[in-house]
Amino acid sequence: MMTKPFITPTIPQGQFVAKQWQCPIDSHDTDGFTAFHAETAQPLPPFFYQASLAELALAGHAARDAARWYSQQSGQLRADLLNAIADELSDCPHLLARLQLETGLALARLQAELQRTTGQLRAFAASIATPTSRHVAATDSTPALWQLDWPLGPVAVFAASNFPLAFSVAGGDTAAALAAGCPVIVKAHPAHPGGSALTMLAIERAMQRLAIPVALVQLLQSSDPSFSHAVAGHPAIAAVSFTGSKTAGLALAQTCQQRPIPIPCFGELGAVNPQVVLTTLSQTQRQGLADSAFQAITGSGGQLCTKPGLWLIPAGAAGDALVAELVERIDNFAGATLLGPSYLARYESLSMQRSAQSLLIAQGHAAANRACGRLWSAEAATVLASTDAWWQQEIFGPCAQIIRYQQTSELVQLFAQLEGQLAVSLHGELTDDAPWLERLAELCGRLLYNQLPTGVLVHPYMMHGGPFPASTNPQHSAVGLAAMRRFVRPLCIQAASLADAQRLALALQVQPTLKNSS
Amino acid sequence: MMTKPFITPTIPQGQFVAKQWQCPIDSHDTDGFTAFHAETAQPLPPFFYQASLAELALAGHAARDAARWYSQQSGQLRADLLNAIADELSDCPHLLARLQLETGLALARLQAELQRTTGQLRAFAASIATPTSRHVAATDSTPALWQLDWPLGPVAVFAASNFPLAFSVAGGDTAAALAAGCPVIVKAHPAHPGGSALTMLAIERAMQRLAIPVALVQLLQSSDPSFSHAVAGHPAIAAVSFTGSKTAGLALAQTCQQRPIPIPCFGELGAVNPQVVLTTLSQTQRQGLADSAFQAITGSGGQLCTKPGLWLIPAGAAGDALVAELVERIDNFAGATLLGPSYLARYESLSMQRSAQSLLIAQGHAAANRACGRLWSAEAATVLASTDAWWQQEIFGPCAQIIRYQQTSELVQLFAQLEGQLAVSLHGELTDDAPWLERLAELCGRLLYNQLPTGVLVHPYMMHGGPFPASTNPQHSAVGLAAMRRFVRPLCIQAASLADAQRLALALQVQPTLKNSS
């Protein structure tokens, strides 16, 4: 019964709860896990303690207190906090190096992701800094009505493995929740616990700089899936955001729904993002497409939820040429380090299954602990005759499935069988006769024309999400400023006069600027 | 095996599916139900056939076809349809008379409700008639991004009993869904099948006038709760809206969640809408409050989801005086006809239970087949000591529960126990020291100051909905133009240039007007 010393003093091994780094002191403190060196598959020190249910209870309590305090703060304070987090994140000397070890992602990619992450934080800050930004609308009709955005309460953010910055501890979900006025409890992804703890330290410094008196952001580390359900089921949690696998996301959504008080679960569950190559694709387009497709399939080790994992390519010489160019590139691909040994193992196992279902037509260089590029191809007729939808299963890694179609009627049948997608692209020239186009719009959150779906822009018009099972709520985007809408609800204030309504709003400490529009 | 003749030729007894009034011709056609005369409790002819699963399948198929056609129509056509429905509804000579029989609601109330219903239809029409109304936003950044609202698909509308026009076949949910570009399948409420069929006839005439070639609105009649779950579970249905009891609404939400492809369920489930009387209530305010409270408790037979059913009144002389004024009014209340004999039976049974839990302090005149007004009162200390939340149970009918509190600390404890509400009102003068106010905002969708919650304005700033269990989705309003947002999702179009994006949009027949803002 004693406090264990930190093995690596710079990386806290415990939970950040109620403004403190918790050190487990009871007999459960031997329960824990490590990250793995993505390139060597060796365990990476330090040892991280599994968060306990007692720590979760403490975090829930602190988050509730924080919610009350935070909902009364000005937009300016929220903006200051988001900017301070961005500042601190930009000044974490060991963060990217640690994440390189834990995720195997290239330094350049992590640098770009850090830029994106701080950019997101600053964009949310800019959108809420002005007094009107609480989205207060008022009318002096009789009775007077106001509407404002009310924060839902503490949000549980389940971090993703594949974006250890942009969709992790200080990622888009955390930024959106803080901008919306909600405290955050992050359940860190067990594939990068060290990077998560270092990010939490940066947020802690930002909160200290602003003398935030409450537990606005807390961090729980666990490699135990049942703990995630305990978090989502905790009564203090008012909403869940999740980025990850379909299996894990759907289970979490079910937990959220089956609580005594159900809460919304915004799960972004991935997709195969079909790429429809039209017969009108020109030769010039083809060359460019082969290059960009190769990049999109293999970039970040093919571990993006927007990876174009399914290619519908016409039969015939032009289609053959495109396939040949893709095969050549994949055959020469040097392989990729995946996010961790378990990712590689799963990639190999799913690849083996796929090779039993479809013809392996390209395979890149094999190297120890690296995933080699792979392409499979099947005829549309064969796919359409199969009894299960193996061709729609997402495989995380540098690979893609090709389906060759003979005629538009086969395409239409494939479209009918496709499930909800984050994105669908068309490649080639659209002709006026495309009655099947609406089915594609029905299927996805983003429809692209001669564009690859990777490289999701952080923009107000972006939609990152899509019909089930691409997400658990297609009415919201996980990227862009609209992501904030997930964590607020409308509250109407009604009074006999605008002056009375203002009186009530002041008592609520809402401090709005009136806007007399209807 | 022959077609049965209609008993009352002007009221179709079957389903309106695939643009036809279906006449059951097989052995199942003896399965059916009637409405009841609300005043005499006698069955009201005609006999209505229960919709069959075969009819549901036909309706689902037709709705899917309609969805595809309708999503490609202009905002102008949608607006024309909504206006035509409003026109036809205003010209239904027998509709209000039939609804008077079926619901027991007064003619003046039904006339006002009809005005509100046609007003809603026209308001939605006005909001979507202009070309920009498809909510298309575009930017010519590189790549170019567009965002537009995409209709979710066929919506199942479960009609309410207590608003046989405004929340029924041509009510707000139907108007919102049609405005959003979604076909509607209405599951009529079995308490007013005749009014539902007559409303459907009006919509049919409107669709004929505009030569709508598809089944945009369909009607299913059933008194079997399991049929509702079959409707919500049908694969063609993309969203559900429901207004009614907590039990029925939560069961429906569960069905929506447990489908192979879960769909959103927008359920508005009612509340007790606590009225907090402050010690600062002046004598002048008191007199006005007694009048308006009496109206709000007994109006429409006390069968409004916004009825102020729970009154927190301070102990002491001023509170005593308010209670005495309420008691006097309720004691003299002549009683109300409820929506049907089953509503009266339930009112009496819940009243009996309540009288065992709390002191009955007022009871109006009793007359055959009428519900008499009732007031119960309890001490806050007693309520806080009770082990269940009997005082939070909604009782449909002209009654209210009073709780007398000694001090603010008791109020705060009651607030802590309250579940989610549609509305909460404060009566009296707000002082600067009201730290408990935020808890009230947390609890409800609408916070009122010296206002009663009944008489929900159809206004963009209205919020009719609230935290669970007042609704199944507190992020949306069931009243006002925002109700349309429930039935669309964002679709992003991405292309190399704005011209290319426009090319794709034209092929989708979206016909937008561009708006170059970011």
Whether B461 and A137 lie within 8 Å, measured CB to CB: yes
Residues 279-338 of B with CB under 8 A from A: none
Confidence tier at A457 by pLDDT (50, 70, 90)? confident
Residues 247-276 of A with CB under 8 A from B: 253-254, 257, 261-262, 264
Residues 415-444 of A with CB under 8 A from B: 420, 426, 430, 432, 434, 437-438, 441-442, 444
> Which H or E run contains B354?
helix B341-357
Written as six digits, the tokens of A381 are 């007729």
Query: Does the annotation mark B102 as catalytic?
Result: no
Confidence tier at A134 by pLDDT (50, 70, 90)? very low
Report the pLDDT value the prediction gives residue A125, as an integer from 0 to 100. Answer: 95
Set of chain B residues whose Cβ sits within 8 Å of the Cβ of A389: none
Range in A344-358, B398-412, B480-494 the model is least confident about: B480-494
CA–CA separation, A59 and A15 (whole Å):
10
Distance from CA of B144 to the nearest CA of A (A): 10
Secondary structure E strands in B244-305:
265-268, 274-277
Distance from CA of B149 to the nearest CA of A (A): 10
- CB atoms under 10 Å from CB of A82, counted, come to 27
Set of chain A residues whose Cβ sits within 8 Å of the Cβ of B508: 437-438, 441
Task: Label each residue of A11-49 as H, E or C.
Answer: CCCCCEECCEECCCCCHHHHCEEEEECCCCCCEEEEEEE
Residue B275 · residue B293 · CB < 8 Å: yes
CA–CA separation, A207 and A220 (whole Å):
17
Report the pLDDT value the prediction gives residue B517, as an integer from 0 to 100. Answer: 38
pLDDT digits (tens, 9 = 90+) for B377-435: 999 999 999 999 999 999 999 999 999 999 999 999 999 999 999 999 999 999 878 88
Residue B468 in contact with partner chain A when CB distance is under 8 A: yes
CA–CA separation, B415 and B314 (whole Å):
14
- Name which of A150, A257, A463 is nearest B492 (Cβ-Cβ): A463
Residue B413 · residue B312 · CB < 8 Å: no
Candidates A273, A426, A447, partner chain B, best to mutate (most B CBs within 10 A): A447
Nearest CA in chain B to A69: B438
Written as six digits, the tokens of A208 are 């200290």
Residue A514 in contact with partner chain B when CB distance is under 8 A: no
Instruction: Give the mean pLDDT of A256-268.
Output: 94
Whether A507 and B434 lie within 8 Å, measured CB to CB: yes
Candidates A461, A476, A487, partner chain B, best to mutate (most B CBs within 10 A): A461
Residue A448 in contact with partner chain B when CB distance is under 8 A: yes
Is the pLDDT at B512 greater than 60? The verdict is: no
Residue B481 in contact with partner chain A when CB distance is under 8 A: no
- Please tell me the CATH code under which domain B274-449 is placed: 3.40.309.10
The ipTM assigned to this model is 0.93
- Residue A21's DSSP bridge partners are A16
Cis peptide before B151 (omega within 30 of 0): no
Distance from CA of A451 to the nearest CA of B (A): 6
Set of chain A residues whose Cβ sits within 8 Å of the Cβ of B434: 507
H helices of A139-277, in order, are 172-180, 193-209, 225-233, 246-258
- Residue B443, CA distances (Å) to B118, B417, B455, B466 in order: 32, 10, 20, 8
- Give chain B's mean pLDDT: 92
Set of chain B residues whose Cβ sits within 8 Å of the Cβ of A512: none
Residue A237 in contact with partner chain B when CB distance is under 8 A: no
Residue A496 in contact with partner chain B when CB distance is under 8 A: yes
- CB atoms under 10 Å from CB of B462, counted, come to 23
Instruction: Give the mean pLDDT of B79-84.
Output: 97
Set of chain B residues whose Cβ sits within 8 Å of the Cβ of A509: 438
Residue B477 in contact with partner chain A when CB distance is under 8 A: yes
Q: Report how many Cβ contacts below 8 Å link chain A to chain B.
A: 191
Starting at the edge strand that comes first in sequence, how are the strands of the sheet with B184-187 ordered? B20-21, B16-17, B217-220, B184-187, B155-158, B239-243, B265-268
Superfamily assignment of B57-269+477-486 in CATH?
Answer: Aldehyde Dehydrogenase; Chain A, domain 1 (3.40.605.10)
Set of chain A residues whose Cβ sits within 8 Å of the Cβ of B489: 445, 467, 474-475
Instruction: Give the mean pLDDT of B86-110.
Output: 95
Report the pLDDT value the prediction gives residue A87, as an integer from 0 to 100. Answer: 98
Instruction: Give the mean pLDDT of A31-49.
Output: 93
Whether B261 and A468 lie within 8 Å, measured CB to CB: yes
Set of chain B residues whose Cβ sits within 8 Å of the Cβ of A463: 147, 490-492
pLDDT digits (tens, 9 = 90+) for A135-188: 556 666 778 888 888 999 999 999 999 999 999 999 999 999 999 999 999 999
Set of chain A residues whose Cβ sits within 8 Å of the Cβ of B459: 139, 141, 145, 518
Report the pLDDT value the prediction gives residue B154, as an integer from 0 to 100. Answer: 98
Report the pLDDT value the prediction gives residue A4, as an integer from 0 to 100. Answer: 44
Range in A54-63, A199-208, A299-308, A494-503 the model is least confident about: A494-503
Give the three-state DSSP class for A317: helix
Nearest CA in chain B to A477: B490
Active-site entry in A102, A113, A204, A268: A268
* Domain coordinates in residue numbering, chain B: 57-269+477-486, 274-449
- Name which of B447, B492, B509 is nearest A446 (Cβ-Cβ): B492
Whether B460 and A71 lie within 8 Å, measured CB to CB: no
Distance from CA of A182 to the nearest CA of B (A): 13
Confidence tier at B138 by pLDDT (50, 70, 90)? low
Range in A490-499, B191-200, B308-317 the model is least confident about: A490-499
Residue A199 · residue A89 · CB < 8 Å: yes
Report the pLDDT value the prediction gives residue A74, as an integer from 0 to 100. Answer: 86
Written as six digits, the tokens of B28 are 């199942």
User: B469 Cβ partners below 8 Å, 6+ apart?
Assistant: A261, B246, B250, B269, B419, B420
Whether B461 and A139 lie within 8 Å, measured CB to CB: yes
Whether A257 and B261 lie within 8 Å, measured CB to CB: no
Report the pLDDT value the prediction gives residue B136, as an integer from 0 to 100. Answer: 58
Distance from CA of B294 to the nearest CA of A (A): 19
CA–CA separation, B491 and A74 (whole Å):
32
Distance from CA of B263 to the nearest CA of A (A): 9
Candidates A289, A489, A498, A518, partner chain B, best to mutate (most B CBs within 10 A): A489
Report the pLDDT value the prediction gives residue B250, as an integer from 0 to 100. Answer: 92
User: A506 Cβ partners below 8 Å, 6+ apart?
Assistant: none
- CB atoms under 10 Å from CB of A200, counted, come to 22
Whether B494 and A139 lie within 8 Å, measured CB to CB: no
pLDDT digits (tens, 9 = 90+) for A222-239: 999 999 999 999 999 999
Label residue B317 exposed, middle or buried (CB < 10 Å: 0-12, 13-18, 19+).
exposed
Distance from CA of A131 to the nearest CA of B (A): 19
- Name which of B262, B437, B450 is nearest A500 (Cβ-Cβ): B450
Is the pLDDT at A132 greater than 50? The verdict is: no
Written as six digits, the tokens of A194 are 């060290």
Active-site entry in B182, B265, B305, B372: B305
Is the pLDDT at A2 greater than 50? The verdict is: no
- At the top level of CATH, the class of A65-269+477-486 is alpha beta
pLDDT digits (tens, 9 = 90+) for B425-444: 999 999 878 889 999 999 99
Confidence tier at A279 by pLDDT (50, 70, 90)? very high
- Domain A65-269+477-486 matches domain A275-449 at the CATH topology level: no
Report the pLDDT value the prediction gives residue B26, as an integer from 0 to 100. Answer: 55
Residue A358 · residue A378 · CB < 8 Å: yes
Confidence tier at A516 by pLDDT (50, 70, 90)? very low
Residue B173 · residue B483 · CB < 8 Å: yes
Written as six digits, the tokens of B230 are 């079959």
Nearest CA in chain A to B479: A492
CA–CA separation, B83 and B126 (whole Å):
9
Report the pLDDT value the prediction gives residue B414, as an integer from 0 to 100. Answer: 98
Query: Does the annotation mark B268 as catalytic?
Result: yes
Length of chain A equals: 518
Give the three-state DSSP class for B496: coil
Confidence tier at B23 by pLDDT (50, 70, 90)? confident
Instruction: Give the mean pLDDT of B153-180.
Output: 97
Is the pLDDT at A69 greater than 80? The verdict is: yes
CA–CA separation, A194 and B243 (whole Å):
49
Q: What is the CATH T-level fold of the domain A275-449, as seen in this structure? A: Aldehyde Dehydrogenase; Chain A, domain 2 (3.40.309)
CA–CA separation, B463 and A96 (whole Å):
46
Is the pLDDT at A1 greater than 50? The verdict is: no
Residue B90 in contact with partner chain A when CB distance is under 8 A: no
Nearest CA in chain B to A441: B491
Whether B450 and A503 lie within 8 Å, measured CB to CB: no
Active-site entry in B268, B372, B394, B444: B268
pLDDT digits (tens, 9 = 90+) for A388-408: 999 999 999 999 999 999 999
Give the three-state DSSP class for A93: coil
Instruction: Give the mean pLDDT of B154-179.
Output: 97
